[in-house]
Structure formats: structure tokens, C-alpha cells
Amino acid sequence: MLTLEKFEEASEIVKKVTLETKLVYSDYFSAQTGNRVYLKPENLQFTGAYKLRGAYYKMSTLTDEERAKGLITASAGNHAQGVAYAAKCYGSKATIVMPTTTPLIKVNRTRGYGAEVVLHGDVYDEACAKAYELAEEHGYTFIHPFDDLTVATGQGTIAMEIFKELPLVDYILVPIGGGGLATGVSTLAKLLNPKIKVIGVEPAGANCMQVSLKNGKVTTLPKVNTIADGTAVKTPGSKIFPYLQKNLDDVITVEDEDLVVAFLDMVENHKMIVENSGLLTVAALKQLNVKDKRIVSILSGGNMDVITMSSVVQQGLILRDRIFTVSVLLPDKPGELCRVSGIIAGVNGNVIKLEHNQFVSINRSAAVELRITLEAFGTEHKNEIIAALEKEGYQPKVVRANI
């Protein structure tokens, strides 16, 4: 059972290894939504995510014999680091099975805490099956990343901290992969204040909890497809499912495109790096049909590799019309390129890249294609640039930006 006494015990124990992640009031998201929005920055934890809470509390409840056998788990990255770090604290061996698609930063950091990493499968569920196989073969003690009530109790300590800082909180938004974090947070939140609303947030391409709650039973998705790798789970936890049925008020799903834009918002307005799974609760804010409420968005982690970060920033700029590409046809004669660039400069457009294709038409003197990739201040400025080109007789067509 998840009891208030166990949550209190866990809260004291996890303080030994966690950093104090004070709530951050967001002027930007508050203005965007008409609510008072606070961020719970678990991305600033020592291991870069909240998962250390559950892993360390679980480790504290094991016997010396269970620890001595060696520990094993499966994880897309953040639980892996939590278990590896907790095992290091207790002097135990840890083996972590991670999907082959896990970002390199998560793999390297897990190894950096002294754990042995085994890469297997494309998604978490396949890695988990391999971990069970190795546990059986070597006699390791398995620590499940989410379908474990003790682990969920450790994760729920986040809610204890939220209530201490913001006792009158109205809504808590919590990311969902397998459901461990949501179980701990929603259960403790309802114990402390039954009137509070706890909303789970999943990627639209991995909405196993939403489907399971709708069906009234744990349901496995045929496949998952999302950039939020930390929440790319096909099957939610069966042990924790009854708690989620009882304590979750709703589940919202978020498209990958919204996560990309949320990353850009977080970097520009809060100077914080938050991984895609951690951004679910930020991207979901605009879906809440409420006003003037105290809302806490849990930022579950910040372990994103630089290559992914670069790609997300670029796509975010494109989605916000901060970067766009237009195609114009013009005669192949001297001075035309200078004329086009002068028009763009006249409305403060900044050219990033030019592509000049002479072979778009058989009659080169009639038309060659010029593709211009530009920086703009946003949609209004983009439309101003296009209007300036049209005014000078060109017929610009917006094409997919490729940077």
C-alpha cells in the first residue's frame, strides 16, 4: 500500500542524494495561459532527472543479500542513471539494459556511475524483456523502473515538496511513460488534498496509459513512435494501474511538434535544457481549459544529447516561422540576385542560404529557380517579407526549409 507514512519516510531518505529543486514561477507560461504556472525543475537533479528518488528509496529497502546479488534494470536512460548512482552509493554492482535508440549522453553517464550497460531492442519493452532474462540467468535483483510500489513511493516525494512550497496548488501536471511517477505524485497529492487535480501527460505516439484507462485494463500498444524517448512505453505498469485509475483526473496527449516548440520556449524564456519527455507537461498547458489556477508542471528530466538538441532547436525555429524557405523564379541574367536580396534586406530579412537551380526550366533565360532560406522574427515578419517580394513582381512559394 502507498501510505502517507511511507511517503514521509521516503521523503527523508531521498534527501541524502537529491538536490532541492525549488519551484520556478514562469511569467511567460502564466501570461500564455492565464494561470499561475510554476515549474518543478527535476531536470536540475544531480543525475539530470527525478528517477534517482525512486531508485535510491527502493535500494534502501533491500536486504544486504539482495544488494550483494547485484542489481539489474531496464531503462531508456533516466532510471538507468538513478539505479547506477544508487548502486554506487551502496557499493553494489549494477547492470542496465537500455534500448539501442537511447541517447549517447544517457548511456555514457550510466557507465560513468560504474554500471555495466547492455544495449538491446528498439524500445523500452524489448530492453525490459532482456533484463528479466539476464536477472534469471545470473540471479540479479531486478528493480523495475515504474511497476513497483516502493519505487513509485520514492517518486511521489516530488508531490511532498510541491505541497510544502505551494500548499494551495490547484493542478499538477505529470509526465507518463509507464506510470511510476504519476502513481506516486497523484496518490500522495490526493492523500494531502482530495480536491487537487492531477493530470497525466503522454506523447500522442505512446499513449499507453490513456488507452489502458479507457479500456479499464492494462493495454499494450502495437507500436510507439515519439521523440520523447523517456516515455516511449508500450505497456503501463499493472501493479500501479489501480492507483492511477483512482487518482488520475485525466490524461492529455501531446504531439511531437508541440514538444519541439516547448523546447525552444524553455531555452529562450527560462534558460533551461529539458528533454522531450520532461517537456510534456509544458506543452500540455495550452490544452487546459482553466483560468487563474495555480498549476505546477513537473519537468521530469534534462538528459538530452547535443545532436538531438541541435535538431530540436532547428525544427523549433522552423515551426515558429523564425526560419523559412521561399522559392522564386527569375530570369537568368546579371543583377537579378542582387535585386532579390535588396528587397529582402529592405524588410530586415536575413539570408542564411541560397540555392540557384538553372535547370528548373528548359528555357533558362525565361526562368531559373532561386531558393532562399531566411531568418525572420516570426510569422508576421515572414509574411511581410513574402509580401515585399510579391509587390516587386515575384511569385514566392514557401517550401520546406532544409537547414
Which residues participate in catalysis according to the annotation?
A: 51, 300
Task: Report which of 23, 36, 26, 34 is spatially closest to residue 286, judged by C-alpha positions.
Answer: 34
Beta sheet of 94-98, edge-to-edge order: 116-119, 94-98, 71-74, 141-142
Pick the closest to residue 166 from 155, 158, 175, 154 (CA basis).
158
Dist CA 280 CA 287 (whole Å): 11
Q: Indicate the pairing of strand 116-119 with strand 141-142.
A: unpaired
Distance of CA 163 to the CA centre of its chain: 23
Three-state DSSP class for 333?
Answer: coil
List Cα–Cα distances, 29 to 22, 265, 283, 285, 296, in angstroms: 17, 9, 10, 8, 11
What's the DSSP call for residue 207? -
User: What backbone phi and psi angles, to 5 degrees, belong to 273?
Assistant: -95, 120
Taking residue 9's Cβ as centre, other Cβ atoms within 10 Å add up to 16
3-class SS at 199? strand
What strands, in cross-sheet order, belong to the sheet with 24-25? 24-25, 36-41, 294-299, 171-175, 197-203, 250-254
Task: Give the three-state DSSP class for 163.
Answer: helix
φ, ψ dihedrals at 171, nearest 5°: -130, 140
As a whole number of angstroms, the longest Cα–Cα distance in the chain is 83
Residues 6 or more apart from 108 whose CB is under 8 A from it? none
